[in-house]
Structure 1
Amino acid sequence: MAGGTEDIEALIDIMAKLPGLGPRSARRAVLHLIKKRALLMQPLADAMTGVAATARECLTCGNIGTSDTCSICSNSERANGQICVVEDVADLWAMERGHAFKGRYHVLGGTLSALDDVGPEELRIPKLLDRIRSDGVSEIILALNATVDGQTTAHYIAGELEGSGVTVSSLAQGVPVGGELDYLDDGTISAALRARKAF
């Protein structure tokens, strides 16, 4: 970069590692931040410092918040016996954007994958089974991505719950095969949640 400094190049390199940003997009973003230093860059730096110091994973569900128990798990009104199982935090946030689900969540942290050597122990599946046994859960809603690994994971969880008396359902219409929750609009997610069916 002509006339550049090592600090600016280092920032561009870090930004380029973010999802959806390559080197060119990172360069444009950094240039924009520098031009709007007082309005954007300093508040962004302050916010990132704060999040780096306070962000943590909820010990119960795996959501990201600022305490050991997230606001969803600590909300007694959401203890309605329903747990919505999602692959990652982005999917949980996508479900929350729709304001359709009033229960609690469980973030698996990925999906089962024989190719990548990811089994149940590498995910939060044992923790989910513990929660079901101890929390008076009446329904598990499998809101996993409609991919091969997502559906393999859903079948595994359903098999583990067979005979437990817990209703197992999955999202229905509106979620395309191969689609990912984080890319769906709020209306589609709400419709899929309302039309869930037995798994």
Structure 2
Amino acid sequence: MDFYPVAIEKLIEEFAKLPGIGYKTAQRLTLHVLNLPREEVVGFAEALVKARGTIKYCSVCGNYTDSDPCSICSNPNRDNSTICVVEQPKDINTLEKVQEFNGRYHVLHGVISPMMGKGPDDINLKNLIKRINDELKEIIIATNPNVEGEATAMYISKILKPFGVKVTRIAHGIPVGGELEYADEVTLAKALEGRTEL
């Protein structure tokens, strides 16, 4: 067992609260921070406090922003006829790196998960419905291909049907560079279901 001063143990505990960080990694991070020059530690702490104090959710799409609306929602060059629905703000960043989508986004801030006690009222669905207008032609659902993501996609599709807007789902299947022998049955089934003509 490690015996550190109380201040070090407290810092280890705080790092360990971060997702994906266990005790050993928290311990390494803590000891690394303690060996940094004071100015770097102060800069790190100030960056944390500033980000927590200035970053908020965009009132239109739900993305992280420091100005409202966010830079995507306020960009007049974006396509207003398409909205891509994602689970979390980080998903927008992932999609933007591809540089293939020029529409708008909508962040659900979670998925429907009865096991976790999250229903439709616990995610950002009402604001998505408010965004439906005559200009909107398609809503692309880009939730993760797991049980909760699929259930959420099906629910969204069902509630949007009466609005007459086209609802599509991103394709799933074998990743580029992947090999069939390593793909699971669900992935193979989705790949066969979503096949395209050459």
- Answer whether TM exceeds 0.5 for this pair: yes
Name 1:86's counterpart in structure 2: 86
Name 2:46's counterpart in structure 1: 46
Contact 1:169 1:196 in 2 (8 A): no
* SS state at 2:140 partner: strand
Superimposed CA distance per residue, residues 90-146 of structure 1 (whole angstroms, 9 cap, x where no aligned partner): 22222122222111111111111223332221111111011113x721110100000
Larger deviation: 17-26 or 87-96? 87-96
Q: Does 1:110 align with 2:95?
A: no
Report how far residue 175 of structure 1 moved.
Answer: 7.0
Contact 2:62 2:89 in 1 (8 A): yes
Gaps of 5+ in 2: 176-193
What TM-score do the two structures reach when normalised by structure 2? Answer: 0.80
Q: Does 1:11 align with 2:11?
A: yes
Q: 1:124 to 1:196 in 2, by over 3 A?
A: farther
Amino acid at match of 2:120: P
Contact 1:170 1:196 in 2 (8 A): no
Matches of 1:68 and 1:7 in 2, distance apart?
38
Q: Which has the higher contact order (CA 8 A, sep 6+)?
A: 1
Q: 1:127 to 1:61 in 2, by over 3 A?
A: same
Overall identity of the aligned pairs, in %: 41
| Residues 166-185 of structure 1 mapped to structure 2, 5 A cutoff | 166-174=165-173
Matches of 1:196 and 1:94 in 2, distance apart?
24
Give 1 or 2 for the bigger CA radius of gyration.
Answer: 2
| Residues 152-163 of structure 1 mapped to structure 2, 5 A cutoff | 152-163=151-162
Amino acid at match of 1:14: E
Matches of 2:16 and 2:118 in 1, distance apart?
28
Larger deviation: 145-154 or 60-69? 60-69
* SS state at 1:49 partner: helix
Amino acid at match of 1:6: V
Q: 1:107 to 1:196 in 2, by over 3 A?
A: farther
Matches of 2:195 and 2:41 in 1, distance apart?
43
Matches of 1:76 and 1:175 in 2, distance apart?
36
| Residues 22-41 of structure 1 mapped to structure 2, 5 A cutoff | 22-38=22-38, 40-41=40-41
Report how far residue 39 of structure 1 moved.
Answer: 6.7
Superimposed CA distance per residue, residues 29-65 of structure 1 (whole angstroms, 9 cap, x where no aligned partner): 1111221234742321121121122011111111111
Name 1:68's counterpart in structure 2: 68
What TM-score do the two structures reach when normalised by structure 1? Answer: 0.80
Q: What is the RMSD of the two structures over their aligned residues, measured on CA atoms? A: 2.3
Amino acid at match of 2:147: V
**How many equivalent pairs are there?**
177
* SS state at 2:24 partner: helix
Contact 2:80 2:135 in 1 (8 A): no
Contact 1:145 1:151 in 2 (8 A): yes
Contact 2:84 2:103 in 1 (8 A): yes
Name 1:121's counterpart in structure 2: 121
Q: 1:196 to 1:38 in 2, by over 3 A?
A: farther
